[in-house]
Amino acid sequence: MIDIRALRDDPDGVRAKLARRGVEASEVDAVIRADVAHRARVASAEAMRAEVKELSRQVGKAKKAGDDARADELSARSRHLGEEERAAAAEADALFEKVRTGLLYLPNIPAEDAPDGVGEEDNVEVRRWWPGQDLGRPEPGRLDHQQVPHWEIGEALQILDMERGARLAGSMFPLYRGPGARLLRALTAFAIDRHSPPYEEIRPPTVVLTETMTSTGHLPKFADDAYHVERDDLWLIPTAEVPLTSMHRGEILEESQLPLRYTASTACYRREAGSAGRDTRGLLRVHEFDKVELFAYASPEGALDAQADILARAESMLQDLELPYRVLDLCTGDLGGPSARTFDLEAYAPGVDRWLEVSSVSWYRDYQARRANVRYRPAGGGPLQLVHTVNGSALAWPRIWAALVENGRQGDGTVMLPEVLAPYLGGELLLKTP
């Protein structure tokens, strides 16, 4: 969440900055009003508490002097004032929750250099890459034999079975078979080998507490997109970012430890609320998928370097996988709620003739760390500081899988996979009908 002190010290500035994201001034003002009322009620309760304490002292003095009537009068006033103080304290607590809830719903302040815009059509393409670009080869066109969507390729080669997946769990739950399943496993092994040991490998739980989901910004605002196990009050993670963000929740780190870098391969679960009828063919939008995540806790000074490192790693993997891709600088209207700056990577899939988002690399400033209360002790002394968090996918596999089989499709219907995966596939790179 954003710092409440920013709302107190520079409300006009916060309104203007959040307006770039389409946040109405009334949403900001509601939090400011609740905060003013909360602080006033706290002050009132504290004043009454001090007066009750003084009355108690005077009661004792009156009794010592033998003035029972005065002591009774003061005691009655003390009891009445005590009831008022408890009511004021309860009202202050309710106002505090109102302030906290308002802050939980407000998005992060966007970075100054994030491009302005209202939606994905305003995202800025930074660069694109394709195989052979460094040799001066032109950007490849869409070949006739590549104009087959991955779900048809998967069915023909018996490596993807959406129908059986739906029979088992409902629509948008894919089932991979044989070489298709092995390809997923190979991609994960390739990614983990690429990222560790610079990024410590973690295998976190894939079900987490409400507090853990809240720390990243997924709750309460995006509850409809998450799977909730109500009986145990646990949530299925939508990304490994969720447990990694809370690995050091409530801890104080040393600046010398930063950046702390982690990578994790997990299953991810998303309800994709509101997606009915949109991108629901094949693997374009699914409820369960595997993903390798990169995450860093950094100092404010090192955060952008950490983001650049994750972005470079994701790009290098796409290049090794020989997938054409582009990098987008997301505009303020398309940023995820907790993000200050995000770069998306989109791989081109010729079978569906689409650019498919395969990674988002985001810098959150201290927005998540304030929720998770992750701080560090500056090496030069001074007060504790909140860390900055950075994360990105390297990579998310369903759309990578789709892009690989569509780009790799040959004229005879087989699929040739990139050489970089040979060590993970026993050297067998050709997918063909059994």
- Does the CA dihedral 90-91-93-97 come out positive or negative? positive
**Catalytic position from the list 182, 341, 365, 399:** 399
Angstrom distances, CA of residue 193 to CA of 180, 183, 317, 323, 420? 20, 15, 11, 19, 12
Residues 395-415 as b/e (b if ≥16 CB within 10 A, e otherwise) read bbbbbbbbbbbbbbbeeeeeb
Round to whole Å and give the CA distance between 399 and 421: 17
Q: Could you confirm whether 167 is annotated as catalytic? A: no
Given 201, 255, 322, 357, the catalytic residue: 357
Q: Are 237 and 268 in contact, with CB atoms under 8 Å apart?
A: yes
Largest distance between two CA atoms of the chain: 108
CA-CA distance, 175 to 168, in Å (whole number)? 9
Amino acid identity at 60: G
* Adjacent-strand bridge partners of 297: 260, 389
- Describe the crossing of helices 25-64 and 68-105 by its angle, rounded to 10 degrees: 160
Q: Is 164 a catalytic residue?
A: no
285 is catalytic: yes
CA distance 2 to 120: 24
Catalytic residue among 261, 270, 341, 371: 270
Where do the DSSP E strands lie in 138-251?
A: 200-202, 207-209, 227-229, 234-236
Q: Alpha helices, DSSP H only, in 65-198?
A: 68-105, 150-157, 162-169, 179-195
Is 270 among the residues known to form the active site?
A: yes
Q: Which of 49, 100, 281, 285 is catalytic?
A: 285
Among candidate residues 360, 365, 371, 393, the one labeled active-site is 360
CA 75 to each of CA 55, 200, 249, 388: distance values in angstroms, whole numbers, following the listed order: 7, 63, 46, 53
Say whether 150 sits in a helix, a strand or coil.
helix
Catalytic residue ranges: 270, 285, 357, 360, 399
